[in-house]
């Protein structure tokens, strides 16, 4: 039995991804959420539409929750065929929390939580498995061009773009961002203030490194990991200002999740309309 997992699937783009996979994927689809009540309510909503997702609690900020779910998947299915990492947070534009608080909180979920989940689930991927990391147009490396200190910003960009970038290097850069926001000198050090952008730049960089080094985690054939921009979608995260529906926003993720055997699309930055974008150099296509 094939099995797919979507994190943060109880609302927004995650719910749209679960809905589409239930229609297109020949296997069991797990909608996961940290709140069982909200998760089960979302499952019931999809069942009222004639679909049949399953639910399991998963909090990507809890190591124990990750390990419990990993054991469940291994015991029941002996591995995983599709993993879509959608769970994430963003502070509102009008948020009053200091940059340091926003940085620590945002990266804890969007980068560190996702990374811990990946490190636990990559080893249990089945042959031909597909992994999709939700990045964003905000995760385009060129966003760092908006930094104040152009010289130091270029050094950071070059490190992130390097084909020799390691997980340890990337972790160090993400830690440096959080540390410099706490010290109040992140802009002088070449960073930008938008923590969501930095977190998604981190996820995109992580996706490229993990695809390159996938054999270190799992020797199964045809394992593919990509990162996607879902578009400007009408969700809580965008304060419902996005023009795209959640089902439209799910398209790039579902495309990446269902890539055919032996695809050449690996470690790629996939735009909302499913075209491939050069993450390092751009240009980025229109938002909608």
**From 77, 177, 196, 217, active-site residue:** 196
The backbone torsions φ and ψ at residue 264, rounded to the nearest 5 degrees and listed phi first, read -90, -5
Active site residue 196: yes
The CA–CA distances, whole Å, from 160 to 57, 143, 146, 156, 168 equal 33, 12, 16, 6, 12
**Cα–Cα dist 13/243, whole Å:** 13
Provide the greatest CA pair distance for the chain: 55
Report yes or no: 282 and 161 within 8 Å, Cβ to Cβ. no
Q: Count CB atoms within 10 A of the CB of residue 75.
A: 8
Three-state DSSP state, 128: strand
Q: Hunting for tokens 């995260």 — which residue is that? A: 237
Q: What share of the chain is helix, strand, coil (3-state, %, to 5)?
A: 45, 15, 40
Report yes or no: 242 and 284 within 8 Å, Cβ to Cβ. no
Which residues belong to the active site?
196
């Amino acid at each position: 039995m094939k099995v797919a997992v979507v994190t943060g699937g109880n609302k927004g783009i995650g719910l749209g991804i679960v809905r589409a996979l239930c229609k297109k994927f020949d296997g069991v689809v797990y909608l996961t959420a940290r709140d069982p009540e909200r998760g089960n309510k979302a499952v019931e909503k999809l069942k009222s539409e004639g679909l049949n997702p399953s639910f399991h609690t998963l909090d990507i900020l809890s190591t124990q929750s990750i390990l419990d779910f990993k054991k469940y998947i291994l015991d029941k299915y002996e591995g995983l065929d599709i993993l879509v990492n959608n769970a994430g947070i963003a502070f509102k534009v009008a948020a009053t929390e200091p940059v340091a608080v926003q940085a620590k909180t945002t990266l804890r979920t969007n980068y560190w939580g996702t990374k811990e989940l990946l490190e636990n689930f990559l080893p249990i991927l089945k042959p031909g498995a597909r992994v999709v990391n939700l990045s964003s147009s905000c995760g385009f490396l060129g966003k760092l061009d908006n930094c104040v200190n152009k010289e130091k910003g270029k050094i950071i960009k070059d490190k992130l773009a390097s084909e020799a970038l390691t997980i340890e290097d990337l972790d160090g850069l993400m830690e440096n961002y959080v540390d410099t926001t706490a010290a109040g000198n992140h802009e002088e050090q070449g960073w930008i203030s938008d923590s969501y952008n930095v977190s998604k730049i981190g996820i995109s960089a992580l996706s490229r490194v993990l695809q390159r080094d996938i054999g270190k985690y799992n020797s199964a054939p045809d394992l593919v990991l990509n990162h996607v921009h879902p578009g400007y979608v009408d969700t809580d995260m965008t304060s419902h200002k996005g023009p795209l529906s959640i089902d439209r926003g799910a398209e790039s993720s579902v495309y990446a999740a269902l890539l055919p055997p032996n695809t050449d699309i690996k470690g790629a930055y996939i735009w909302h309309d499913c075209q491939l974008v050069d993450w390092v150099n751009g240009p980025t296509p229109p938002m909608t």
